[in-house]
Amino acid sequence: MITSDGRNLTATSGVADVATRRPVSPNGHFRIASVTKAFVATVILQLAGDGRLSLDDTVERWLPGVVSGNGNDGRTITIRRLLQHTSGIHDDYPDYTSAEDFYRHRYDVYTAEQTVARAMRHRPDFQPGEDWSYSNTGYVLLGMIIQRVTGHSWHEEVRDRITRPLGLHHTFWPGTSPTLPRPHAETYQRFQPGGPLVDVTEQVGSGTNGEAGLVSTTADVNRFFRALLGGRLLPEAQLAQMKQTMPVSGEYQRFMPGARDGLGLFSRPLSCGGVYWGHEGGDSGWITADGVTADGRRSVTVSLSGVYADSPDDVLRVEQAESKLVDDALCTAPGTDRTQS
Confidence of residue 89 (pLDDT cuts 50, 70, 90): very high
Predicted pLDDT at 333? 52
216 pLDDT above the threshold of 60: yes
Predicted pLDDT at 325? 92
Write the pLDDT tens digit of every residue in 314-327.
888 888 999 999 99
53 pLDDT above the threshold of 90: yes
pLDDT averaged over every residue in the chain: 91
Write the pLDDT tens digit of every residue in 219-263.
999 999 999 999 999 999 999 999 999 999 999 999 999 999 999
**Helical residues (DSSP H) of the chain, grouped into ranges:** 36-49, 59-62, 79-83, 99-105, 112-119, 136-150, 154-158, 164-166, 218-229, 236-242, 250-255, 312-332
- Average confidence (pLDDT) over 168-193: 93
Confidence of residue 217 (pLDDT cuts 50, 70, 90): very high
- Average confidence (pLDDT) over 157-179: 97
Among the residue ranges 3-7, 13-17, 31-35, 199-203, the one predicted with the least confidence is 3-7
Confidence of residue 297 (pLDDT cuts 50, 70, 90): confident
Confidence of residue 310 (pLDDT cuts 50, 70, 90): low
- Average confidence (pLDDT) over 270-287: 92
Contacts of 153 (CB under 8 A, 6+ apart): 143, 146, 147
170 vs 4, which has greater pLDDT?
A: 170
Q: Do residues 104 and 156 lie in contact, with contact meaning Cβ atoms separated by under 8 Å? A: no
- Average confidence (pLDDT) over 290-306: 90
- Average confidence (pLDDT) over 127-156: 98
71 pLDDT above the threshold of 60: yes
Cα atoms found within 13 Å of the Cα of residue 194, Cβ hemisphere only:
0
Predicted pLDDT at 2? 52
pTM metric for this prediction: 0.95
- Average confidence (pLDDT) over 194-218: 91
Q: Do residues 28 and 217 lie in contact, with contact meaning Cβ atoms separated by under 8 Å? A: yes
Q: Is the dihedral of CA 270, 254, 138, 89 positive or negative?
A: negative
- Report the alpha-carbon distance of residue 101 to residue 103 in Å, rounded: 6
Predicted pLDDT at 336? 41
Confidence of residue 270 (pLDDT cuts 50, 70, 90): very high
Write the pLDDT tens digit of every residue in 4-19.
544 556 788 888 898 8
Going from the N-terminus, what domains does the chain have, and what CATH number goes with each?
30-332 (3.40.710.10)
Active site residues: 34
Among the residue ranges 2-16, 78-92, 130-144, 248-262, the one predicted with the least confidence is 2-16
Please state, for a pLDDT cut of 90, what percent of the chain lies above it: 76
